[in-house]
Amino acid sequence: MTVRMLCRIAPALCALALSPALAQDQESGRVGSGAPEDFFMEITRGEDGAPVIEPEQFDLALGGYYRFNVVCPEELTSETGYHFEVTELLENSHIRLLSIGETDVEFYMQGLTFRAIQCDESGTARFSFHPMRPGVYPIYVRDQGVPPEEVYGRVVVE
């Protein structure tokens, strides 16, 4: 079931799924194991046409094990899609796995990195990682307009 379908069927569950991740289950300074803790960021278009991200901030524990889910629920094209970057977070994390959509397509990174995720149609991309350095890391999202509209969020690792 996609996040989009979940939001139509059970709005309360959707709100819970899209709420900011809290570092409550992760212990700062200890590299996590087992299944990663999921958190979700949805990219939509505001009334003014600019991209909107929800939530705008995530608070994570140093060394925790997380899966960042980038959700693009709207019907998009290469002209209306979104470009997502968390360059500094990726540079300061151990990347484990990147997966695309609702399929079993997975890229096992084992410390390698990637530069960006681009949504040219509705769907979800996700990557699992261990943040290895504390800090405040920017989230950058832009649309494909000319000139592009931009929005920023952040990931706080303590």
**pLDDT value at residue 25:** 63
Report how many domains make up the chain. Answer: 1
**pLDDT value at residue 104:** 64
Instruction: Give 21-30 pLDDT, tens digit per residue.
Output: 444 466 766 6
* Beta pairing class for 150-157 and 57-60: parallel
Instruction: Give 37-79 pLDDT, tens digit per residue.
Output: 999 999 999 999 899 999 999 999 999 999 999 999 988 888 8
Residue 78's domain comprises: 3-157
Instruction: Give the domain CATH number at 85.
Output: 2.60.40.420
Label residue 96 exposed, middle or buried (CB < 10 Å: 0-12, 13-18, 19+). Answer: middle
Residue 106 pairs in a beta bridge with 99
Residues 41 and 97 sit within 8 Å (Cβ to Cβ): no
Res. 7: pLDDT tops 60: no
DSSP H or E segment with residue 32:
none
- Name all contacts of 144-149 with Cβ < 8 Å and 24+ positions apart: 144/78, 144/79, 144/80, 144/81, 144/82, 144/83, 145/49, 148/83, 149/49, 149/50, 149/51
**pLDDT value at residue 124:** 93
The answer to which of 2-11, 41-50, 61-70, 149-158 has the lowest mean pLDDT is: 2-11
3-class secondary-structure state, position 96: strand
Distance of alpha carbon 79 from alpha carbon 95, whole angstroms: 29
More confident residue, 7 or 64: 64
Q: How confident is the model at residue 84 (pLDDT cuts 50, 70, 90)?
A: very high
Instruction: Give 87-141 pLDDT, tens digit per residue.
Output: 999 999 998 888 988 766 778 776 667 889 999 889 999 999 999 999 999 999 9
